[in-house]
Amino acid sequence: MIRSAAALCVSLSFAHIAAAQTFPSRPLRMLIPAGSGGGVDTVARIIGTPLAAALGQPVVMENRPGAGTMLASELTAKSAPDGYTLLMVTNSHVINAGLHKNLRYDPLNDFAEISFVTTLPYLLVVHPSVPARSAKDLIALAKQHPGKLYFASAGTGSGTHLAFELFVSLANINAVHVPYKSGSPALVDLSGGHVQMMISNIINCMPYVRNKRLIGLGISSAKPSPSFPQFPTIAASGLPGYDASAWYGVLAPARVPPEIVARLNREINAILRTADVREKLAAQGADVAGSTPEEFAAILRRDLQKWAKVTAGLKMQTQ
């Protein structure tokens, strides 16, 4: 029995080595937890094209919006651990762990961390009809009309949802959440005046701001953005201590052979160092990151704890 078990372990080890040596021998797919045209879709495609060239195989982009990004995470967790399924994940992945106690996957243990990719701030935007031109103005307006202002999000549990819940909590205001399936339809309704405000992915909302269909009041990061110097931070324009930014990274199913994880990490970090990719991400307002798998795992654990505190009071609303 012991010899048989040992033989099996040796056999599996050789199988992993063989798989890593021939990887990739067919196209990969990268799941995107949102519809086309949004921030995560944009980042995934900026990374996916050079990744395909580096690996010598196509990387097929597969948009899987739904369930506040949980659909794409669940599909990834249940995929074969062979390196051929990747997920361009957002910080919603760890936010959902605090919102939903009955997740059909473990946000940490059911995934293999490949690499952190980039961070970018959200932007607090309002419809032009809203008489507020700063975060301070908006807070004062919400206090004058408790429960009368509606804020959109890319879905319950999304980063845009929790970023505004943090705003609501710190400002001590009462506003009504209106969740959408993704950020794009939320912005369409916001620009049409059906809701009044949103903390949006900055990639998504900047075309609306440039066309004056929305008004930008402040960015969500603790420090000003070099890419968007026209916007003060929310913290500096009315809400001291506010800090909430989006981030993106690449995950794979758990138990992907470590040799394949190392190969994917190496290729993605090399891509992030190229001038072309850095320029494309910077044009979107994103700060290039990159990491080891272990560093990305630490970021996931840290943010899971951070957002669990924010979501604690929201669980009954989102079950």
- Per-10-residue mean pLDDT of the chain, 319 residues long, equals 55 56 95 88 96 98 89 97 97 87 93 95 96 97 97 87 93 96 92 97 90 97 88 95 92 98 98 96 88 97 88 56
Phi, psi values for residue 18, rounded to 5°: -65, -40
* Structure confidence at residue 193 (pLDDT): 97
CA distances from 268 to 91, 288, 296, 299 (A): 19, 11, 13, 17
Listed in sequence order, the residues at least 6 apart from 283 whose beta carbon sits closer than 8 Å to its beta carbon are 227
Nearest-angstrom CA–CA distance, 110 and 256: 11
d(CA 305, CA 319): 19
Q: Specify the 3-state DSSP secondary structure of 217.
A: strand
Can you list the domains of the chain with their CATH numbers? 2-119+246-318 (3.40.190.150), 121-219 (3.40.190.10)
Of the candidates 74, 83, 45, the residue with the CA atom closest to the CA atom of residue 248: 45
Tokens of 309: 């505190």
What's the pLDDT score for residue 16? 55
Structural contact between residues 122 and 225, judged by C-beta atoms closer than 8 angstroms? no
Rounded CA separation 278/51 (Å): 14
How many Å apart are CA 287 and CA 228, to the nearest integer? Answer: 12
Give how far the C-alpha of residue 225 lies from the chain's centroid of Cα atoms, to the nearest Å: 18
Cβ atoms within 10 Å, residue 13: 11
Peptide bond between residue 121 and the one before it cis (omega within 30 degrees of 0): no
Provide Rg for the chain, Cα atoms. 21
- pTM, rounded to two decimals: 0.78
Residue 275 — φ and ψ, nearest 5°?
Answer: -65, -40
- Rounded CA gap, 86 and 32, in Å? 9
Which candidate, 31, 70, 243, places its Cα nearest to that of 154?
Answer: 70
d(CA 80, CA 59): 16
Side-chain half-sphere of 33: how many Cα atoms within 13 Å? 28
Say which residues have a Cβ less than 8 Å from residue 30's Cβ, sequence separation at least 6: 44, 48, 59, 60, 61, 62, 86, 87, 88, 250
CA distance 14 to 46: 35
Rounded-to-integer distance, Cα 291 and Cα 266, Å: 10
